Each structure stands twice: as C-alpha cells, then as structure tokens.
Amino acid sequence: MNHIALKMLMGDTGKYIGIVMGLTFASLIMTQQPAIFVGLMSRSYSFISDVGLPDIWVMDAKVQFVDDIKPLQETELYRVRGISGVAWAMPMYKGLLKARLTDGTFQTCNVIGLDDATLIGGPPQMLEGTLEDLRRSDSVIVDIDGATDKLGKPSLLPGGKPTPLKLGDSLELNDRRAIVVGIAKVTRTFQSQPVVYTTYSRAKNYAPRERKLLSFVLVKAKPGQNPAELTRRIREATGLAAYTQAEFMELTYQYFMHNTGIPINFGISVLLGFIVGAAIAGQTFYNFTLENLRQFGVLKAMGTSNWVLLRMILLQAVLVGSIGYGLGVGLTALFGHAMRHTILAFKFPWQLLVFSGAGVSIICVFAALISIIKVIRLEPAIVFKG
C-alpha cells in the first residue's frame, strides 16, 4: 500500500511540487532567519569565545556584558593569582580607543592589551606575522576586516575602496605611534569595530590616563579544579565578579537579549515564517487529500482499513515533509555558504536543524491529522455516486 501511497502523492507533479515548495519555504525561513539571529547573537560573545585559553574571567562585579568595561586596580591581578586552584591569571586590557587615519578621520577601535610575557588571549588565527611580533616596539596586530576596511588607508578617489593596511604600516592610537606587525583573523563582533591587539603595558600607554586600567583578569583553573567552585572562591576572596567562559558568554548574550530589540524582531519573523509555511504546506496537503478523497474512498470500499489509510497519509506527509525539510535546510546552508565572506551574521548550529525539523514535523503532522480525520470519517459509499 505504501507504494500506492507514494504513487498517489507523486502522480500529480504540480501538486506534489506545490506541497514540497510550501514546506521548503517553511523550513527555509525557519532555519535561515534563526541562523541569522543566532549568528548575530553569537557575535555578541564572539570575543569571549575567541579568547579560548582561560577558563574564568574575573571583572568588576557590575560588569553587564563583554563590552561594558569597568576597570580594576592592577593589584587585583595578584590577589586573583594568590587564590588556590588558580593555575595562572593574566591581565587583559580591553577598551575603545580612537585611531587616527592618514586622512585625518578618526576610527574607534577595540584595543586589546595582552599580558606582556605570555601574550595570552591573542587572536585565534594569524594571517600575517606572528603573535611574538608584539614584542617589538610599538607593535600592534590588526584584524583583517579592520585592516581592509575601516582602518585601511582611505582611497584617494571619493567613494573608492580603502587600501588595506600592510605589515609595517603605522597607525596613530591616541596620538601614539603604532606599527602593524601582524594581520589576524578574528570572529566578527557585534559592533564590528576593528580589533587592535597589543601588549598590556603598551595598551596602557595608548589608553587615556586613568587610575585603573585592568579590564579583565583571565584565569586558568588548575587541572581537576571545579570551575564553579573556583569562581565562587574568587568572588568570595576578591569581591569581584568571576564567570566561567560559558557563564560570561551567557551573561553577554542575555544582556543583548534583554536590552535590544533583535530577539523580538527575529522571533516575529521566525513565527511568521512558521505560520506562512504551515499555512501553505498544510493547506496544500489538505487540499491534496481532499481531491484524493474519492480514491481513498475506493480503497476503503475495497476493504482497506482506516489504519492502513492512516499509514498511507502519514507516509505521504513524512515524505513531503522530509523533502521540503531537506531542500529548506539545504537552501539555508547554501545561503550561509554564499554569505560566508560577507558582513552578514550567519551561524548554523545543529540545534537549528532540530528546531526546523520539529517545525516541519509539526506542520506535516498537523496537515496529515486534519486529512486523516477527513479520510476516517469518509463513507465509502460515496464511490457509488457518479
């Protein structure tokens, strides 16, 4: 009977494609929009995940998210270092500083100061130069996106593309000279500002004079140390906030969730996609069943049980659902692939596959359900009516 069900489904190519397209659209919009959303939200904490080495981030207790810098006294570094269970603790400066470009315009940059000796917290991937080059005087490492775009030398022609920064080019950070010794690839951040890496002590020279300049203390737990236990100990001993990497990402993520309109906007578009997809696919599938009602009636009259009919309809629903789902997520992946080098945020975690799979399943089950009710209620006697 399964064969017959499939033949029935695919017999009318137009309707078959219609249902599949509806489900494709639904699953496309249910993956593509959330993928952009997840991509955008993951950018909010991309800096934290880029600095992968430390387990724990220590900061001022009032810090709300990663870009909310409330500097600490430098001696806090040594207090944190003195807590048992801490394998090492390193300072990090993070701040927005103005870079002056050759044409006199200013560009705000995210300046990251790394521990002078170990350079812990450096960019994930070096495209040119090495991290050790930061030991040279006045040296900085610039991220590739910033180097090619915002920090590039402005074009002589108005509206032209800026000339990318090269190794050896100099920048002016707060009236101080900085020499580019490396180009790095970093994950884009929410604000997409250029990222400039340098050493901690040099960053302090670039930064405006303040009494406190230590943004974060990066902590590595000793092997076998329970991070939750250690963060609690750090909090109690220093009165600072200590988060594991995951907690800090979550904190930042939650801040953006609660303080920006992004989640609502995307939530609405995902919901709309779901509703539209469900409506189109459900409607088409239901119509399909209705038009085949006579055929189901014939089968029923010839002695097919409701249970077999139900299985046939479910099979049809599962098939169109799977095809629509596969096409939808495939198109989403294609979209992501095409956009991978652009500024567009796109992230496709496996949970999204599950999410859209569940969405398409719900649509299919719903469409199949109303069709099944119709078929089960069907009086086979209709087949005798001409």
Partner 1 sequence: MTLAVHCKQLTKVYDTGGQKVTALNGIDLDISTGELMMLVGPSGCGKTTLISVIAGILDQDAGLCELFGENLLTMRSKDKLNFRARNIGFVFQAFNLLPSLNAAENVSIPLIINGTKRSVAERTAKTVLEQVGLGARWQSLPSQLSGGQQQRVAIARALVHNPRLIVCDEPTSALDHKTGNTVMALLKDVAMHKDRTLVIVTHDARIFNFADRMAEMDDGHIIKIQANTAPPPPHS
Partner 2 sequence: MQIKHILPVLAAAGLVFAGYTVVNSNKPTPIAKAVTEPSTAPFKAFIAGAGIIEAQSQNIAIGTPLPGIVKAVAVKVGDPIQANSPLFYLDDRDTRANLAIKRADLAKAVADVSVAKATYTDAKALSDLAEAVTDRRAISAEELIKRRNAMLISKAKLESAAALVQQAEANVAEIETTLSRLVIRAPVAGVALQVNIRPGEFAQAGFLSTPLLVLGNLEQLHVRVDIDENDAWRFDKSSKAVAFLRGNRQFKVDLVLAYVEPYVVPKKSLTGDSNERVDTRVLQALYRFDREQMPIYVGQQMDVFIETTVTPNAPPEAAPPVAAQGATP
Q: How far apart are CA 201 and CA 332, in angstroms?
A: 45
> Does residue 104 interact with partner 1 by CB under 8 A?
no
Amino acid at 33: Q
Applying CB under 8 A, which part among 173-181, 295-303, 349-357, 376-384 lies near partner 2? 349-357
Q: Which of 83, 298, 315, 376 binds partner 1 (CB under 8 A)?
A: 298
The nearest distance, CB 256 to partner 1, in angstroms, is 52
Applying CB under 8 A, which part among 148-156, 160-168, 221-229, 377-385 lies near partner 1? 377-385
Applying CB under 8 A, which part among 150-158, 169-177, 205-213, 285-293 lies near partner 2? 205-213
8 binds, among partner 2, partner 1, none (CB under 5 to 8 A by kind): partner 1
> Does residue 304 interact with partner 1 by CB under 8 A?
yes
Q: Residues in contact with partner 1, total (CB under 8 A)?
A: 26
Q: How far apart are CA 116 and CA 80, in angstroms?
A: 18
> Does residue 86 interact with partner 2 by CB under 8 A?
yes
Instruction: List the interface residues with partner 2, window 223-282 (CB under 8 A).
Output: 232-233, 236-238
> Does residue 10 interact with partner 1 by CB under 8 A?
yes
The nearest distance, CB 298 to partner 1, in angstroms, is 5
Instruction: List the interface residues with partner 2, window 271-330 (CB under 8 A).
Output: 319, 322-330
Q: Residues in contact with partner 2, total (CB under 8 A)?
A: 78
- State the residues that interact with partner 1 by CB under 8 A: 1, 3-4, 7-8, 10-12, 294-295, 298-305, 308, 379-381, 383-386
